[in-house]
């Protein structure tokens, strides 16, 4: 049922677009190519086991953890579209 100016399925279209964006972002962050032997951020040696498990790895575990945490902190969008979030 359409409400106001929105068309039927508009909410689902928004959900699908959000998921598609997240998948594209995740795929673009997948390492490719040959793994580095040393971290490109801090120059610490990357263990051979990590290089084997993650082809194309460029960062040590500690630097990758920091970057992952920054990404979590940056993604603070409320995409649910509740009335409460629209009033802010």
Q: What is the pTM of this model?
A: 0.54
The angle at the Cα of 30, spanning 67 to 18, to the nearest 5 degrees, equals 80
- Residues in the chain with pLDDT values less than 70: 1-6, 75-88
83 to each of 3, 38, 58, 69, 86, how far by Cα in Å?
Answer: 14, 49, 43, 29, 5
* d(C-alpha 14, C-alpha 33), whole Å: 34
> Residue 68: what pLDDT?
86
* d(C-alpha 44, C-alpha 60), whole Å: 7
pLDDT 10s digits, 31-49 = 788 999 999 999 999 999 9
């Amino acid at each position: 049922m359409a409400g106001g100016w929105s068309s039927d399925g508009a909410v689902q279209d928004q959900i699908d677009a959000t998921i598609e964006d997240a998948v594209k972002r995740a795929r673009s962050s997948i390492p490719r190519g040959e793994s580095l032997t040393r971290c490109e951020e801090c120059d610490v040696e990357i263990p051979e086991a990590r290089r084997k498990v993650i082809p194309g790895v460029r960062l040590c575990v500690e630097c990758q953890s920091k970057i992952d945490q920054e990404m979590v902190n940056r993604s603070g969008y409320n995409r649910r579209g509740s009335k409460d979030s629209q009033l802010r």
